[in-house]
Structure 1
Amino acid sequence: MKKILLTLTLLFSSCAFAGSELELNKVKLPEAISLIYSEVLKVPYMLDPQLVNDERMITFRLTPDIDEREFVTRYLGNMNIRIWTKKGVDFIAPYTPKEPVKPRYTWTYTPQYRSVAYLSDILGGYVSGSFNNSGAVISDDSLKGSSGASNYINRTGDILVYYGTKEDIAILKTLVTSLDTMSDEVVVSGYVFEVQTSQSDGSGILLAAKILSDKFNISVGAAGLDNFINIRTGSIDAIFNLLKTDSRFTVVSAPRLRVKNNASASFSVGSDVPVLGSVTVNSNTTTQSVEYRSSGVLFNVTPSIKSRTMDLKIQQQLSNFVTTETGVNNSPTLIKRDVTTEVSLADGDIILLGGLAEQKDSKASSGWSFFGSRTSESNKTDIMVMLQVRKVDRSRATPRSAARSGELFRDNLN
């Protein structure tokens, strides 16, 4: 009994009421609801178990000129607590309010330098709307289950269409001006040499290193590897002029390529050889297709341009066709040697690559069978590629302003 009286004393010390007037000051939510329903509303109620141990404090003052039920309903509603009546009993429970649906708008943009796929992949991580290149408004039902803004992009289109809120569109307008810029490019200059070497010369790369070491600052290979030379100073034409004075170096090709960042470029020196393809039988008629396959020196380079360095993925192939001795005799056999490597260069560095070699052994005899002479000869041909990579100067290129002629911003609330 003493405990009950003490509890009532503490409770009423924090509140005062007279008739329809009630004032609460820092009273816990469950206790406040109990007091309101017992002294003011005076109707039966049920409190959701989630609110029984709610520690939030209630502070308000209710005056006689205010509708008590409307006031309590509004106050608890601000705390995400709802009151509804069923068969004369008030049920009090928490609820999660629905976020208001923000109006959506359509924004279109015509890329000037980058692809629609490139822009949508990057921009999709910053907005919650959807992309589409058709220009049609995307309904809310079509957005259900979407895991990203780029789900609705036609990657082959030439116009970027976005459907979202004004806030998202403002973000896109800010970002797109810095993203839709000209891609970095490099100019790849090269020479392809055939190097005739003997056993005393070693590989073509070592022979080139001997010739160039007196004139240039070079480093051969790394960690015991000797299939490339890196030259950080000098002109590629100066090195070419020095190597061509040696009769063992023969120029096969002198390509000049301009390549975009992360794109691939290739060149080949050789021929296209016809080989037998598939056989088609139609109405007792047999048709043999013929395909042309490249052989010779094939070269592919893919640059990855960074602010201070350039990573090059280089693939070399030396191939030739020989007469087929097993299998399909009417079609030649392709013999190829492949080398794939990745190197990191500074702007203007020169690199010499080797690793592809072909060796031919020949034997000859002269005179009578017993008194004649026999000779054997071993010829080795190295394929050596010399490359210089330079960045294309983009310092004069300026991104377009945000006011693009291809932009369209319109309300789609219908």
Structure 2
Amino acid sequence: MKILVAILVLVPAFAFGKAEPVSLSFNAVSIVQFGQAMFKGMMKRDFVVAPDVVSLDRRITIDVKSISSDDLPRFVEDLLAREGIQTTVRDGVYYLTLNRLGALTAQSDVAGQASSVVPPIGSVPSTNSQQIVPADSDGHALLEGAGFQGRKDDDETELFTPKHRTSEFVATVVAAGFGPKAATVAGELVVLTGSKAAISKMLSLCRSLDTHAKMVDVSASWIEVTNSSGTGRGISLAASFLGAKLGASLGTITSGSAISLKNTRFELVIDALNSDARFKQVTNSRLIGYDRTKLKLTVGDKTATVSSSGNDNAGNRVQNIVYTPSGVIIDTLPRVLGGGEISLDVDAQISSFKANTNGLIGSPTLILRQLTTTVGLKDGDVMLLGGLQDMQSSESKSGLGFLPASWSTTSGSKQQTDLVLVVSAKVLVE
């Protein structure tokens, strides 16, 4: 869209040194065009525009019937300040920079905003007049998407240095309670901004937050359960065996795919299962990390697979290759709750590749057995998670070769294998 700049009516008052009234009329002009007309055209002053100001997609529309030329510099500075642009004069040159504290940096995210409009003005506003700006309870200006934000004159700034927590964690909690402008991360420091009373409350909150983060020990082991009878579930077989072997009692969760065990330990459960030939330990993983921190363990490799194929502009065959991890992958996210409870997000998988038999060259087949869930367990308790079954059948015939096949004896067997994930989580005591 072509930008229309209305006629600028002015009297060359600066040439005669006399304050004469001038009229201004702009329609949807950019910041740079406005500065060119005002600073160079009318005020005869050089100006420099910072790159971040040039990149602003803002339009100015004004209609001033009469303004004294002596008041023109102040009027321009106030107008730009309303757009979040700071003007500084050094050696007779105006420097236009973006006011980080007052500007709304996410202006481009505001849909449908085409221009910033200043209503018609009959005379210059008084320098003693005050702008009424919406503010939150702590004195931080709130301008949702259409203008600027200013810092109150009575706002104070305080620095807080966390000792046991990250500055990002402390700033996030403070901002949730006092507003997004109340706390800012500056390296290892947290910059608190607000009234004196608000900062006192923020500091009290920061000190209460700055405690030692809890460490969580998460243990996970895949157990392959072999059931020759082909009946029942592997998780039930494992739970019954552990109850008889260790005297472990069932916890609060008892279902077909999840069973919690009380009065036992993870190491004892694994040792007991390894003592029986029906149970084979496939993997054993242990991860230690902070509360509410994602923990991941990968044991395996990455295999090149074809994600897509096609032809380029020259007609040559092109294949897109991606490297897919396989092996044992354990992802957990522990959350320590009250009353000795732990919420645990679990994403565990065992995967491998085998040669593809469907004719797709160079892309093996991924054999994946995965379990993804969120469970709750008591601190130190053990939980069995199952449901990954595999049934294998075999059939054999016996008889004399010179006799008809109908005279031979047929025998078959079924073998069921289940993958059971044994998990436990406990809070480490310092």
Q: Cα distance 1:266–1:305, how it changes in 2: closer, same or farther (>3 A)?
A: same
The reply to whether residue 229 of structure 1 matches residue 282 of structure 2 is: no
Specify which of 334, 349, 356 is matched with residue 303 of structure 1: 334
Moved more, 173-182 or 111-120: 111-120
Q: Counterparts in 2 of 1:5-404, with a 5 A limit? A: 102-127=153-178, 130=181, 149=182, 153=184, 157-200=187-230, 202-214=232-244, 215-219=246-250, 222=253, 225-268=255-298, 270-277=300-307, 288-308=319-339, 309-326=341-358, 328-365=360-397, 368=401, 370=405, 373-394=409-430
| Contact map agreement 1:313 1:342 (CA 8 A) in 2 | yes
- Letter in structure 2 aligned against 1:383: L
Shift of 1:373: 5.0
Shift of 1:249: 1.0
Q: Larger Rg: 1 or 2?
A: 1
Deviations 1:42-86 (A, max 9, x none): xxxxxxxxxxxxxxxxxxxxxxxxxxxxxxxxxxxxxxxxxxxxx
Q: Cα distance 1:200–1:361, how it changes in 2: closer, same or farther (>3 A)?
A: closer
| Contact map agreement 2:333 2:344 (CA 8 A) in 1 | yes
Separation in 2 of the partners of 1:128 and 1:273?
47
Normalization by structure 2: what TM-score?
Answer: 0.55
Gaps in structure 1 of 5+ consecutive residues: 1-95, 131-148, 395-414
| Contact map agreement 1:193 1:250 (CA 8 A) in 2 | yes
Separation in 1 of the partners of 2:414 and 2:351?
20
Separation in 2 of the partners of 1:172 and 1:121?
12
Separation in 2 of the partners of 1:178 and 1:282?
63
Shift of 1:387: 2.1
| Contact map agreement 1:129 1:162 (CA 8 A) in 2 | no
Q: What SS does the corresponding residue of 1:112 show, helix, strand or coil?
A: coil
| Contact map agreement 1:187 1:256 (CA 8 A) in 2 | yes
Q: Cα distance 1:126–1:296, how it changes in 2: closer, same or farther (>3 A)?
A: closer
Shift of 1:305: 0.3
Separation in 2 of the partners of 1:210 and 1:129?
54
Separation in 2 of the partners of 1:127 and 1:210?
54
Deviations 1:312-337 (A, max 9, x none): 12233343434444473431232434
Separation in 2 of the partners of 1:264 and 1:323?
33
Separation in 2 of the partners of 1:222 and 1:173?
42
Q: Cα distance 1:127–1:301, how it changes in 2: closer, same or farther (>3 A)?
A: closer
Q: Which has the higher relative contact order, 1 or 2, with Cα contacts under 8 A spaced 6 or more apart?
A: 1
Q: Cα distance 1:175–1:282, how it changes in 2: closer, same or farther (>3 A)?
A: farther
Separation in 1 of the partners of 2:376 and 2:346?
11
Separation in 2 of the partners of 1:258 and 1:237?
16
Q: Cα distance 1:183–1:118, how it changes in 2: closer, same or farther (>3 A)?
A: same
Deviations 1:162-208 (A, max 9, x none): 33332222222221111122221211123321111123552221111
Deviations 1:1-28 (A, max 9, x none): xxxxxxxxxxxxxxxxxxxxxxxxxxxx
Count of residues paired in the alignment: 276
Gaps in structure 2 of 5+ consecutive residues: 1-131, 140-151
- Letter in structure 2 aligned against 1:207: L
Separation in 1 of the partners of 2:412 and 2:327?
27
Separation in 2 of the partners of 1:389 and 1:352?
12
Q: Which residue of 2 aligns with 1:18?
A: none
Moved more, 312-321 or 246-255: 312-321
Q: Cα distance 1:330–1:175, how it changes in 2: closer, same or farther (>3 A)?
A: same
Moved more, 329-338 or 257-266: 329-338
Q: Cα distance 1:354–1:271, how it changes in 2: closer, same or farther (>3 A)?
A: farther
Separation in 2 of the partners of 1:221 and 1:173?
41
Separation in 1 of the partners of 2:208 and 2:312?
57
Separation in 2 of the partners of 1:358 and 1:271?
24
| Contact map agreement 2:253 2:259 (CA 8 A) in 1 | no
Q: Cα distance 1:128–1:288, how it changes in 2: closer, same or farther (>3 A)?
A: closer
Query: Percent sequence identity over matched residues?
Result: 27
